[in-house]
Structure 1
C-alpha cells in the first residue's frame, strides 16, 4: 500500500528565498523545479548526497487559496503508493477517514487522517521524473 515517505511540504512566504536558504546555507540541492502554471512553481530540495525524502517548498498564500483548511503553520507529509485505487480502498475498508481522490497532471492523490485528525497526503505519481526527483 504505502511504500515511502517521499516528500515533506514546507509552506514558505517566498519560494526563491527558501530555495536560497536550503541550497546556499544548508547544503541541499534542487532536485526538481517546475513551473506548474502562471502562478505556481513546484520546487523540491534535498541533501546533496541523498536520494530519499525531499522538502517541497510551497507558497503559503497559494496553498491558503487552494485549500483554506490546510494548516500552513507546520509541514505536511506526503507519502507514495504504486496503486492509488488499491490504497484508497484498503484505508476506507479499515475505517480511515479519507478524502476524494484528486486526479492531477502530476499525480493522483488523496488526503487521509489519523485518529487525532492529523492529515496526510498519499500520492501515486504519474510522471516518471516525479518519482525519481529528476524533473527540473
Structure 2
C-alpha cells in the first residue's frame, strides 16, 4: 500500500521568495528545480539530501489559473526537531516570526511563520 509521505504542496505567492525563506532561513536544500513550460517551474525543497519527503513550492496564482476550484489554503504542517531550544534560537536570529515555546505533557513545540505568513508548528521529537 503506501510506504512513505512523498511530497507536500505549499502554495506560495512567489516561488523565489519562498525558496529563499526555506533555504536561507531554515537551511533546507533544493532537491529539484526545473522549468515546467515558459512561465512556471517545479521547485522542491527538503531538510537534507537524504530526506525523502519534500515540500513543493507551487505558485498560488498558477494553480488557480490551471484549476479555478483548487483549494489553495495552507495545510497544517508539523515539522520535527531533536533540539527545540537550539532551533528556536536559530530561527529568532534569522528574523523568523516565532511564537513562544509551549511545554505540553507530550512535548515542547512552537509555531513560526513563513514569508507569506503561513503558520507551521515545530515539535521536539526525541
Pairwise TM-score range, normalised by the shorter structure? 0.5 to 0.7
Aligned match of 2:30: 30
Q: Is the 8 A contact 2:12 2:58 kept in 1?
A: yes
Aligned match of 1:61: 61
TM-score normalized with structure 2 length: 0.56
Is 1:74 the counterpart of 2:74? The answer is yes
Gaps of 5+ in 2: 78-126
State the 4+ residue runs in structure 1 displaced beyond 6 angstroms.
none
Q: 1:21 to 1:65 in 2, by over 3 A?
A: same
Name the CA distance, whole Å, in 1 between partners of 2:12 and 2:66: 15
Q: Following TM superposition, by how much is the alpha carbon of 1:49 offset from its aligned partner in structure 2, in angstroms? A: 5.5
Aligned match of 1:17: 17
1:36-92 CA distances to partner (integer Å, 9 max, x unpaired)? 100110000000264221000000000001112211112399xxxxxxxxxxxxxxx
Name the CA distance, whole Å, in 2 between partners of 1:24 and 1:52: 20
TM-score normalized with structure 1 length: 0.52
Higher relative contact order (CA 8 A, sep 6+): 1
Name the CA distance, whole Å, in 1 between partners of 2:58 and 2:27: 19
Name the CA distance, whole Å, in 2 between partners of 1:62 and 1:36: 11
Q: Report how many aligned residue pairs link the two structures.
A: 77
Name the CA distance, whole Å, in 2 between partners of 1:25 and 1:76: 20
Q: Is the 8 A contact 2:31 2:49 kept in 1?
A: no
Name the CA distance, whole Å, in 2 between partners of 1:10 and 1:36: 17
RMSD of the TM alignment (CA)? 1.9
Q: Is the 8 A contact 2:28 2:48 kept in 1?
A: yes
SS at match of 1:2: coil
Q: Is the 8 A contact 1:11 1:75 kept in 2?
A: no
Name the CA distance, whole Å, in 2 between partners of 1:65 and 1:76: 24
Aligned match of 1:45: 45
